[in-house]
Structure 1
Amino acid sequence: MPDISQIISDYGPWAIFTLVLIEDFGIPVPGETALISAALLASQGKMPITLLLPAAWLGAVIGDNIGYAIGRFGGRRVVVRYGAKVGITDRRLARIERFFARRGGAIVIVARFFVGLRQLNGIVAGIGCMAAPRFILYNAIGAALWVGVWGFGVYWFGQHFEQALEKFGPIVMYVGGGVAAVLAIGYVVWRFVWRRRRSGSRDRRSTSKTKN
């Protein structure tokens, strides 16, 4: 894609609406990255936050509903057949379907915060024939939370970070860098432990099936 910042600068909230909408029915475009970048620009007064947030929310809601319609009326076979061109493989779809089956419809609310789930949660909900009113409600709530965190949250952080930097100078950078490093290390450790547990669980299931 062309430089994302240039697209945002040229088209403003319309760019965010379009990118988020496209991402949310399975097309691999940087919708979340675009929202974060736009929120930072808004914190610098280069874009109206009052237009950015509704545009991102509408794009998220409409995009997921398009995904839901694709899954509901196209079915799993059609989604896998044509979705392979944009990375929607049978294996990937099956993994997310299992996740939905374990967690239920409420996963629609938090799915936006996870790569893969965000792009495919509407499609999987449609394939699973989740009731449309239920999906629309959960989808709207999830979109509001997601836009609140990555839209308004980044906007608020951008405004207050500059003020803190002017007031406290390099201390803010050191503290912020330290917190970011701790979070990054914690995430890596969590992923390592989670993968080991998952691998161990698979080995136990495999051993159990062999014995049976």
Structure 2
Amino acid sequence: MNVETISHYINVYGYIIIFIFLFFGIVGIPAPEESLLFFLGILILHNQLSLILTLIFSILGAFIGMLTAYAFGKILGNSFISKYGKYIGITNQRLEKVKDRYSNNVHKSIILGFYMPGIRQINPYFAGITKIPFLKFVILSLIGAIIWTVPFILGGYYSGKVFNINPKYVPYLGVLFLFIFLISVLINYLKKNSTRIRQ
């Protein structure tokens, strides 16, 4: 989806389209996310959007998306895995091991998971499947939604002030963010392996 299309939808439908894009992105329906948030910051800079309303609808879109996916995971997750898990290599034994690890790292998984494409979409479903307490999930999801959306929007706003950013290239930033994330994961993996070898 290009910038012109996104701009058109925002102009026609207003702030609700920001909510919808981010909601869809969280529940797993392909939608521009990081690049959209960055682009919104640029639109705010050019007085095409309100900073406060953009932040509210962005946070709500991500947050409600998390709650919806959590509900699906809690209600349908276990029955889905029981029926189809064997076809994708998920046995009950493997699932129990993953549940234990997830429960021990749930704070990091939910909050920092927002910055990890793919993990961001799986997290709320798995939180529902593992029956993480709802209130705990609500708090962690809200914190995660805030610290994910706000920096990207402000990043677009302040980057637009410093650099003359052509909006046409903004969607490619999503690819750049994914590349940076994959490089950081690879570096951490290599560091851990080198530490194990030394020991």
TM-score, with normalisation over the residues of structure 1? 0.67
Whether 1:194 and 2:196 are equivalent positions in the alignment is no
Gaps of 5+ in 1: 83-88, 166-179, 202-212
Name the aligned partner's letter for residue 64 of structure 1. Answer: M
| Partner of residue 13 from structure 1, selected from 7, 15, 18 | 15
Q: Distance in 1 between matches of 2:81 and 2:45?
A: 39
Higher relative contact order, structure no. (Cα contacts within 8 Å, ≥ 6 residues apart): 2
| Offset, 1:6 | 1.8
Instruction: Give aligned-pair identity as a percent.
Output: 24
| Offset, 1:81 | 7.0
Match of residue 67 from structure 1: 69
Whether 1:159 and 2:146 are equivalent positions in the alignment is no
CA deviation profile, 1:31-87 (whole Å, cap 9, x unmatched):
2222222222222222222221111000011000000000001123427979xxxxx
Match of residue 170 from structure 1: none
RMSD, aligned α-carbons: 3.7
Question: Kindly tell me: are residues 72 and 7 of structure 1, through their superposed partners in 2, closer, same or farther at Cα, counting changes over 3 Å?
Answer: same
Q: Distance in 2 between matches of 1:81 and 1:115?
A: 26
Match of residue 2 from structure 2: 3
SS in 2 for 1:105: helix
| Offset, 1:90 | 6.0
Whether 1:22 and 2:17 are equivalent positions in the alignment is no
Greater radius of gyration (CA): 1
More off after superposition, 28-37 vs 138-147:
28-37
TM-score, with normalisation over the residues of structure 2? 0.70
Count of paired positions? 176
SS in 2 for 1:113: coil
SS in 1 for 2:151: helix
Question: Kindly tell me: are residues 118 and 188 of structure 1, through their superposed partners in 2, closer, same or farther at Cα, counting changes over 3 Å?
Answer: closer
| Partner of residue 111 from structure 1, selected from 113, 116, 120 | 113
Contact between 2:16 and 2:57, CA under 8 Å: does it hold in 1?
A: yes
| Partner of residue 123 from structure 2, selected from 117, 121, 124 | 121
Contact between 2:42 and 2:156, CA under 8 Å: does it hold in 1?
A: yes
Alignment of 1:40-51 (within 5 A): 40-51=42-53
CA deviation profile, 1:162-184 (whole Å, cap 9, x unmatched):
5xx9xxxxxxxxxxxxxx9xx96
| Partner of residue 136 from structure 1, selected from 120, 135, 138 | 138
| Offset, 1:30 | 1.9
